[in-house]
Amino acid sequence: MPRYAFLIEYNGAPFAGWQRQKEHPSVQGAVEDALRKLEADHPGLAAAGRTDAGVHATGQVAHVDLQRGWDPFRLSEALNHHLRPLPVAILACAEVNPEFHARFSAVERRYLFRLIARRAPVTHDRNLVWQVAQHLALEPMREAAKHLIGKHDFTTFRASECQAASPVKTLDEISIEEHPIPRGSEFRFHLRARSFLHNQVRSIVGTLERVGAGSWPPERVKTALEAQDRAECGPVCPPHGLYLSAVRYPQDPFS
């Protein structure tokens, strides 16, 4: 059975997350339904990460084993045809070796979080960013983020229902950019690690927002991390500003 990898982009607003569900629409379910139009019997998709309800992706990766051989370009075109009008797109498709696994072969995942700070309501980016009304200070957030870089016990920034075997993760990067917009600013948080805990990114960004707003001093983030106590975390920000932006492998399957 040939194995195919897909690079997938989606708007998560109409979905209950990536993972297939019986009673609610999911991104996985949408792509698998499209695949069934081409092959009625297939084992299903495996993805690099299971994004939550409302979370978007510009670089999700998944793979599937199919019965017949396909030209990758024709396969992606056929899937995009059957996915319309859903906000899901196959950006690239490649035949990969049987040892490739979208989840277990990944060596790095990257997330982007978009936050807009201004009083006037967001129009064009509604449901694509988190909006706060107050001004945020960039440098205190950058200073606070430094305390989270490296290998730590991230219990404080982990959802209570997280199923990961260990709360210890290595966070390789948190970078924050500020971009001017009319009457406000857009802040873009870039986080990079081999893997993340459930709600880790949203917990970190929500906590850093408190620092930018002046409610927390930067040093309090270090104290919260060392407490290894979920109660010490700042507010968990909403999902609609979060994007799975890239997944890296030892060899890029789409190069």
The number of beta carbons lying within 10 Å of the beta carbon of residue 25 is: 14
**Separation CA 168–CA 150 (nearest Å):** 10
Give the strand pairing for 56-65 and 88-96.
unpaired
Residue 153 annotated to the active site = no
Residue type, 229: D
H-helix or E-strand spanning residue 109: strand 108-117
33, 52, 65, 153: the active-site residue: 52
Residue where the block lists tokens 């909403």: 238
**Separation CA 241–CA 202 (nearest Å):** 9
Closest CA to 152 of 235, 225, 234: 225
Show the tokens assigned to 245.
């932006």
CA distances from 6 to 87, 137, 149 (A): 16, 39, 31
The residues assigned a catalytic role are 52
